[in-house]
Structure 1
């Protein structure tokens, strides 16, 4: 079997009813990306990710046409080192990640096994949480409380909210209000999206420690390892970070600085499943758990592959908008139930891609 073609397609899912904001970013629209790898046997691997058509259908495609798709390490190293100088982060690694994930889907179909079993196989149900609590124009604290309660009504047992866009005092009140709304038994996480200095992050963390925060995500910029270590050492709240980190070497530095408690390597960003496995080996050898950032249809396979996989991020708004293009894994009593079908187990409405 040989690879014959690679394609990236992006589907415009339309504008958000209301633009949402985290601490540092605003999004007004939704897009669904699909990377496909075709073979001369007629099997196709897919990944619900991908950034640059120029990269994926250009130099990266050229590097792997004619390759046997089961030579995963060979292909990964070709994609990584096929430049004049290998990229260590950024757009190229994200494009590589999409191709690698599609290759794992393809290999699952070749071997008639789901990806989480090929990655290691630990279980077929993983805890899910909502990535929500965004800022929006005119959104009140009561609106935020109602949003979080709605997620609990959907069956979730864990929710995450944004902080860092407003003043520290205002955001402390928002976190207190959410804890009051969801009650003491719901897992609550906070995400600063790298908005703070280490001093600000420590101040905020000390003010909310009493609210039983499960983790404090990206309190400082992703490459400020010393600052993140200072936050981690000053607080009793576990620090989660890594969604903006790339490759095993970046995570080695993060972990060696003792700057993280929960490693959030995202397969769609960090180098695909092939690289995620190596990052997981680094994390687990340091007695750390992993909770991938990003969409649950990819992250669930990673988390289900090893006992140190903690939980999976999901986005109900994206699930609702994207459901017309792709099925999203079901949530049952706060857990994602992984499919038993080969590969990633995704069902695509191909009419959108004609």
Structure 2
């Protein structure tokens, strides 16, 4: 929004809301999950002055129809006619209403609306989102995560890691758990040799290991100078994480499968790296609370995926450290985040600054519902 169009009133009444269900077949398997399908719900909220904000949530595979159904039944009818400064109270009301449904579907639905409202708030102020949230830094370090999969050969893993280092990234992430432990360890060692001792290496097991295998890996990863050991076990196995953390291990990292503040609180003192995903864990509002909790306990936060949105969270957070480079939404964006020498700067435009490719959104939309006038 140009400076001349800045709307100085912080609050505004929401006049219209829309949700689109988008289903995209991915050309190749992504990351450690091997996902070949991406479903996205994009929520747009428009106020009485015509200012708009967008938010979203996603699933790697099917299931988004359930989130969209809840948005249509509960969230979007509730916010039409609402003043945006009432959302902070409404967020908790939505949680209380859906309490018996658990955290997954309700929090994903709430996340999409929450992001859209924060985007609208920043748009009205003519400010980038990270500045509205309270900027702590102007640039954030980025680690390379999008060039390593289980299906790659060791030579391909090395090529991807080396390319990141040559582009100025100071750390890369590799994935283990889909092959024999000895083979995975050999692949990590080969990458370490190729990138040298100065480059950071993070290891993500995508919850594929059992406790004995994780205990076998952990001290060997320490010997290879691994910076953190991400999701070695199922996130629901909290006691197993406590056992693993009591032994010799790199710092443990958790978060992409943990939803909401209370779930993260269980890991204080168990996993020192927290990786919340804003479109899944409750939106910008809940991320801020998770960041505050992490700061209080001396943990660090590095969001999962989605650099175009999460660059604002890392720039505004107190406990935040790294931004993850992983291309997930590229098929729906007309512009991706620019990274120079391993550093990223939040876009200097109002709101979160995501620029959606409207032609592709229309092409992959399978459902669209509108509320309000």
TM-score of the aligned structures, taking structure 2 as reference length: 0.86
Structure 2 residue 139 is the aligned partner of structure 1 residue 125: yes
User: Is the CA contact 1:10–1:32 (under 8 Å) kept in the aligned structure 2?
Assistant: yes
Matched, 1:7 2:18: yes
Q: Secondary structure at the match of 1:254?
A: coil
Of residues 99, 103, 109, the one that matches 2:123 is 109
> What is the CA–CA distance in structure 2 between the aligned matches of 1:113 and 1:21, rounded to whole Å?
33
Contact 2:57 2:280 in 1 (8 A): no
What residue is the counterpart of 1:43 in the other structure?
51
2:42 counterpart of 1:34: yes
- Whether the 8 Å CA contact 1:20–1:26 is kept in 2: the answer is yes
Q: 1:73 to 1:87 in 2, by over 3 A?
A: farther
Query: Secondary structure of the residue that 1:35 maps to in structure 2?
Result: strand
Task: Decide which moves more: 55-64 or 296-305.
Answer: 55-64
Q: Is the 8 A contact 2:18 2:45 kept in 1?
A: yes
Q: 1:7 deviation in Å?
A: 2.3
- Tell me if structure 2 keeps the 8 A contact 1:295–1:313: yes
Matched with 2:211 is 198
The equivalent of 2:303 in structure 1 is: 292
1:154 aligned partner:
167
Contact 1:226 / 1:259 at 8 angstroms: preserved in 2?
Answer: no
Map Cα deviations across residues 295-343 of structure 1 (whole Å, 9 max, x no partner): 1122111111134211111214x46x43x63322210110111112111
2: CA distance, partners of 1:252 / 1:243: 14
Distance 1:150 1:29, change over 3 A: farther
RMSD over aligned CA atoms reads 2.0
Query: Which of 18, 29, 36 is equivalent to 1:19?
Result: 29
* 1:80 paired residue number: 95
Q: Contact (CA 8 Å) 2:14, 2:80: kept in 1 or not?
A: yes
Distance between the aligned counterparts of 1:82 and 1:13, measured in 2?
A: 31
CA distance in 2, matches of 1:293, 1:346: 17
> Which of 175, 178, 194 is matched with 1:165 structurally?
178
Between stretches 148-157 and 289-298, larger displacement belongs to 148-157
Q: CA deviation at 1:169?
A: 0.6
In structure 2, the partner of 1:269 is 280
Equivalent residue of 2:236, what SS? coil
| Distance of aligned partners of 1:297 and 1:48 in 2 relative to their CA distance in 1, 3 Å threshold | farther
Q: Does 1:182 align with 2:222?
A: no
CA shift, 1:197, in A, is 2.0
* Structure 2 equivalent of residue 97 of structure 1: 111
User: For the residues of structure 2 that align with 1:295 and 1:227, how far apart are their CA atoms?
Assistant: 29
Deviates most, 44-53 or 142-151: 44-53
Provide the rounded CA distance (Å) in 2 between the counterparts of 1:184 and 1:109: 44
Regions of 4+ moved over 6 Å? none
2 CA distance for matches of 1:328 and 1:135?
25
Change (3 A) 1:102 1:217: same
**Which secondary structure state, in structure 2, belongs to the residue aligned with residue 235 of structure 1?**
coil
Distance 1:245 1:30, change over 3 A: closer
Q: In structure 2, what is the Cα distance between the partners aligned to 1:187 and 1:250?
A: 28
CA shift at 1:202, angstroms?
A: 1.4
Number of aligned positions between the proteins:
343
Unaligned runs of 5+ in 1: none
Tell me the residue number matched to 1:325.
333
2:86 to 59, 71, 83: 71
Structure 2 Cα separation of the partners of residues 72 and 29 of structure 1: 32
